[in-house]
Structure 1
């Protein structure tokens, strides 16, 4: 399997697990025609990772969602920054939200810690390497996050 196939399989599995037979709260409370937008507001300093995967999730949930990206993978981020704004069906945004946040929080955390270690090792011959000891199903994303943070 290619990395994209693994990512696609993870997205499919995660959406099926999270939404199942439907997001009952959203289905009962949000009108089908409701249109809106949401922004990813950064809560703390670090290195952003997972934007590309988030775009895939939004596309998979609803190809009509529009995403305006302000910060890309690898960007140094600060509290209050806005990474992107997604616009379109409120139901679709809410269906994608949890998976997008979970993936981006995990990947950004890994990228941030990796970046800290890489900076501490500057001037030495040491390198930060990823490991095969990863979370089941998340290996490719976790390894990608290490690279985004400056590791190998």
Structure 2
């Protein structure tokens, strides 16, 4: 997800502003004159990677079509505590009413990009790619996967419709890995890549016998992963997932896998601390 289609971004922002402003910002509208204009800055209170400037700007544009910006950095840039991220010139009511929604998006996406960059830096010597998952905030997947890309990670499948991933429950229903793959090939075009989640060496061998494109080694310890890599290398791409953390990331990357997927990139990161101040 290298960019965010404008029509989808607009829809997300519209819903977020309806949620936060509703029938009106009764505090701001009671205090600030309707035609007042101001300058505001978004300030970093953390070190990290910025992501989501396009989203924050669109929030203010939605409320004030004449708003102007002076970007002090761009998505993907490293920022330090005390850095000014963005200068905003516009209607004061619009700035104050859009503040929380804009910051919520910007802080969340920057937190994802920051954590992703940290993981990418750890595995970079080993030619391993960091992947995200579908463990995203409902209705915000397109934004969160964009933030992963900004941080240097790669997107796994976007949704259930764009790639086959046969998981343990599918295998239970079909009766075996072989039968699950047989049904996929019967019902879908060959253009779809097939990945199979395996829990042990026996399942790995069965998947490889069926010439799958990728295998997902799920929740395996390091010794089993190492053995699986020896068996699967050159026959299928190898992804590792389950229980991945900053602490064990390098140990796994050293084993020769192709991908490491991490739900933590999107489901439990700490938002970057940013604030908006009227000048």
Q: TM-score under structure 2 normalisation? A: 0.53
Shift of 1:58: 1.4
Instruction: Tell me how far apart the structure 1 counterparts of residues 13 and 91 of structure 2 sit (CA, whole Å).
Output: 19
CA-CA distance at 1:20 after TM superposition: 0.4
The residue aligned with 2:111 is 109
Q: Could you say which residue in structure 2 is the equivalent of 1:3?
A: 5
The answer to whether the 8 Å contact 1:3/1:140 transfers is no
CA contact (8 A) 1:38 1:87 kept: yes
Q: For residues 66-77 of structure 1, what are the structure 2 equivalents within 5 Å? A: 66-77=68-79
**What is the number of residues matched between the two proteins?**
151
Out of 11, 28, 31, the residue aligned to residue 30 of structure 2 is 28
Distance in 1 (CA, whole Å) between partners of 2:153 and 2:42 is 25
Q: Give deviations 1:10-47, integer Å, cap 9, x for gaps.
A: 10100111110000000111111222111001111000
Separation in structure 2 between the aligned mates of residue 95 and residue 64 of structure 1, nearest angstrom: 15
TM-score, normalization by structure 1: 0.95
| Residue 97 of structure 1: aligned partner | 99
Q: Aligned runs of 1:1-152 on 2, under 5 Å?
A: 3-152=5-154
Measure the CA separation in 1 of the matches of 2:90 and 2:130: 40
Map Cα deviations across residues 43-95 of structure 1 (whole Å, 9 max, x no partner).
11000000011121111111111111111100100011101110121101012
Structure with larger RCO (C-alpha < 8 A, sep 6+)? 1
What root-mean-square deviation, in Å, do the aligned CA atoms of Structure 1 and Structure 2 show? 1.1
For structure 2, list consecutive stretches of 5 or more residues without a partner in the other structure.
Answer: 155-279
Q: Which runs of 5+ in 1 are unaligned?
A: none
- Greater gyration radius: 2
Helix, strand or coil for the counterpart of 2:75? coil
CA distance in 2, matches of 1:85, 1:125: 38
CA distance in 1, matches of 2:86, 2:127: 37
